Structure 1
């Protein structure tokens, strides 16, 4: 008697539903986006992270107020620290003192910042990590930047050296961290970059930057600023036409492509980080709708 054929072995890495990448997603806002945050609150799961940018035209008090609003909403504030914008060690210490007084200091993101020349003693994010001031003021978790599609002013070998050095410094300082990437349009180079990051020994979670559903004109402006490709081919991959510049572009195609190629065994912990371009409420509504469509309709529950 013939024996029945054995059932096929289950895949070692199950297919990843696109919405699963949205678990514990994070968002970005400026100090002026507090009304938008309030409008978005019902769509953001409690405990999710909201980054507060460090813009040169916003005062420290504005950034602190935004971080307090994030905390009051039941979310985790992640204030940015822009190394080259800080004019002195005292300025950094003073800002961290304020965050500690507000109860918003445990999580920060450190970046080099836009100025080509440092305004003070900190040339880059690594200098902030090595300053000793972060943990002295109660910082416990530090995000650092990653650039899967490169940087317009920094060579690729330097970018790799920087992300490795920052993660090694965090470990030495007893701080946990994650890598938050520039926003991207094409999933393939992102996944390849994450795999190489793992091969270089960086095991920290990666938060892949995703453009929120901003108007295309604004999106293209930000893409140029962040050094992301704006070619017609990339636009097609993202799912919009350059002729429809007054429309909006949704990130669903990118999220689905990323989920299709994501393998936890190869890529480690990957989450999504949304750049909202001043539209945090619109982005939060889009995420809630996308998750509901994918069968995860518990956002805000």
Structure 2
């Protein structure tokens, strides 16, 4: 199979609960079985997140609800969240993050704390997603990030669960490839989903990048397809995907795309469909 088609195969998209109606309206444009991550925002409640996950499941997509460790106020809140997802058949694949609050609301200060609680396996979770940071984290040292990645994948394996890694979005294919190579060299064999922004306004992309500590030098921005001196228009991930495709080899293991929608779910789904259609003829003689 052509490498671009392989990269686009089994891609995933990320939504908030606010995107539920758009997801339902456009679900037919996504292949059955597409993974739909539902973020854990402080501005949205558990019922809304559960409904978003349930809507994905009803549309023959695969829900991947997020749990933000530092937003969980107690063990009982975690149990309730897991029970609610199980009642909606949305519990088999979860994504566990630390979360934004500086001070934990309860006993879980990190994603590792949630994983080590044992409650995920007890609730019937089969796969646990965790985060990777190709360009680092603005508040966490690189070696601490690598140690956390090793510890989380080990803790997941110790409980007989499957791990997957989804990276923070990036505009820099060089940084992403180098990060994948280091992960593999450290023995982390889990599938990696490379985070990329779907088509979005340049001003919005730059704002999210600065908030997340993602590099936006003039050279990187130009390679991605926009200018830092004129924050107008829309940029899509085409150039990034093309460059990433050209760099990936069998030694990089299983690599797929994860699309951050940033409020542009419909446009992102349209882009994904067009990219898949464009990639398929390339594998034919």
| TM-score, normalised via structure 2 length | 0.96
- Aligned residue for 2:267, secondary structure, equals helix
Structure 2 Cα separation of the partners of residues 246 and 55 of structure 1:
28
The equivalent of 2:239 in structure 1 is 253
Q: Deviations over 1:89-138 (max 9, x none)?
A: 01110011100111110000000001111111001000010011111111
Partner residue of 1:33 out of 11, 14, 19: 19
The equivalent of 1:286 in structure 2 is 271
Is the 1:183–1:275 contact (alpha carbons within 8 Å) kept by the matching residues of 2?
Answer: yes
Which is higher, the Rg of structure 1 or of structure 2? 1
- Aligned residue for 2:258, secondary structure, equals strand
Structure 2 Cα separation of the partners of residues 296 and 99 of structure 1:
39
2:175 is equivalent to residue 189 of structure 1: yes
2:95 is equivalent to residue 112 of structure 1: no
Structure 1 Cα separation of the partners of residues 126 and 58 of structure 2:
20
- Aligned residue for 1:191, secondary structure, equals helix
The equivalent of 2:189 in structure 1 is 203
Q: Deviations over 1:47-100 (max 9, x none)?
A: 010000000010100100000010011000000000011110011100111001
Corresponding residue pairs, total: 282
- Aligned residue for 2:63, secondary structure, equals strand
The equivalent of 2:76 in structure 1 is 90
- Shift in Å at residue 296 of structure 1? 5.4
Is the 1:56–1:85 contact (alpha carbons within 8 Å) kept by the matching residues of 2?
Answer: yes
214-223 vs 174-183, greater mean Cα deviation: 214-223
| Correspondence list, 1:86-165, <5 A | 86-165=72-151
The equivalent of 1:75 in structure 2 is 61
| TM-score, normalised via structure 1 length | 0.91
List gaps (5 residues or longer) in structure 1: 1-13
List gaps (5 residues or longer) in structure 2: none
Q: Deviations over 1:132-155 (max 9, x none)?
A: 111111111000000011000000
2:27 is equivalent to residue 51 of structure 1: no
Extract structure 1 runs of 4+ deviating beyond 4 A.
none
CA-based RMSD of the aligned residues comes to: 1.3
Partner residue of 2:253 out of 253, 260, 268: 268
Structure 2 Cα separation of the partners of residues 179 and 17 of structure 1:
20
Is the 1:110–1:125 contact (alpha carbons within 8 Å) kept by the matching residues of 2?
Answer: yes
Structure 2 Cα separation of the partners of residues 24 and 127 of structure 1:
29
- Shift in Å at residue 293 of structure 1? 2.0
Taking structure 1 as reference, are residues 293 and 100 closer, same or farther at Cα in structure 2, changes over 3 Å only?
A: same
170-179 vs 234-243, greater mean Cα deviation: 234-243
Structure 2 Cα separation of the partners of residues 120 and 166 of structure 1:
20
Taking structure 1 as reference, are residues 144 and 257 closer, same or farther at Cα in structure 2, changes over 3 Å only?
A: same
170-179 vs 286-295, greater mean Cα deviation: 286-295
- Aligned residue for 2:235, secondary structure, equals coil
- Shift in Å at residue 244 of structure 1? 4.1
